[in-house]
Chain A
Amino acid sequence: EAQLVESGGGLVQPGGSLRLSCAASGFTFSHYCMNWVRQAPGKGLEWISYISNTITITHYADSVKGRFTISRDNAKNSLYLQMNSLRAEDTAVYFCARRICYSDICFFDTWGQGTLVTVSS
């Protein structure tokens, strides 16, 4: 069974940095494109970043572009999100999610449990 487990969340001061990790198991990690999605307290879902399985393509939401960097280590079955210049509005639960595509129909079929990031002084 495919499983994703996030870690690395916590309390950080505005302007600070944090690195989130997502450990994958139960599937061939290197075959799948991965994403980060976040959810501010009491709010809806916000997609924030994507990385292709071959690491050659990345995409970001405007809200995090230039501050966050997505990466992966296929040998370690791990996905990462480096978050710099953090702001109060980055406070959220961060989920990693696997993308599957059948022909060109894609969707997020497997999600982690989420890790909470709180940006506050």
Chain B
Amino acid sequence: DIQLTQSPSFLSASVGDRVTITCRASQGISSYLAWYQQKPGKAPKLLIFGASNLQSGVPSRFSGSGSGTEFSLTISSLQPEDLTTYYCQQLSSFPYTFGGGTKVEIK
């Protein structure tokens, strides 16, 4: 099975900061990686697919990059509504797996 390791698990930042979350795969997954945002009590929301493609309707301050085993999600200017939890997911092979999550909190 492919393991995904997200870092950091917790991130403290200020509004306006540039924030980067990393996701490392245990083996190469090409660009078969998605990023989701999840707010408390809600379903996950797709942000990025194919490692770098912005889902329709998602603000352009979100971007994704990487391929193979190293990926990142960047928020160029953190907004108050971005303070929540983010997950990466690999869809290269079954079982599909998620990273452990990164909680973004206010500094």
Contacts and interface: CB of A to CB of B under 8 A. Distances in A.
Interface of A: 35, 37, 44-47, 50, 59-62, 95, 99, 102, 104-109, 111-114
Given A35-B96, A44-B101, A50-B94, A105 B43 contact: no
Contact of A47 (B32, B43, B98, B100): B98
B11 interface: no
B34 to A, nearest CB: 4
A44 B95 contact: no
A45 to B, nearest CB: 4
A111 B49 CA distance: 15
Q: Chain A's interface: helix, strand, loop or mixed, by majority?
A: strand
Given A44-B100, A62-B95, A108 B31 contact: no
A109 B55 contact: yes
Majority-rule SS of B interface residues: loop
Nearest to B34: A107
Given A44-B100, A45-B101, A112-B43, A61 B91 contact: no
Interface residues of B, number: 26
A59 B95 contact: yes
A44 B98 contact: yes
Interface in B47-72: 49-50, 53, 55
B94 A106 contact: no
Interface in B69-105: 87, 89, 91, 94-101
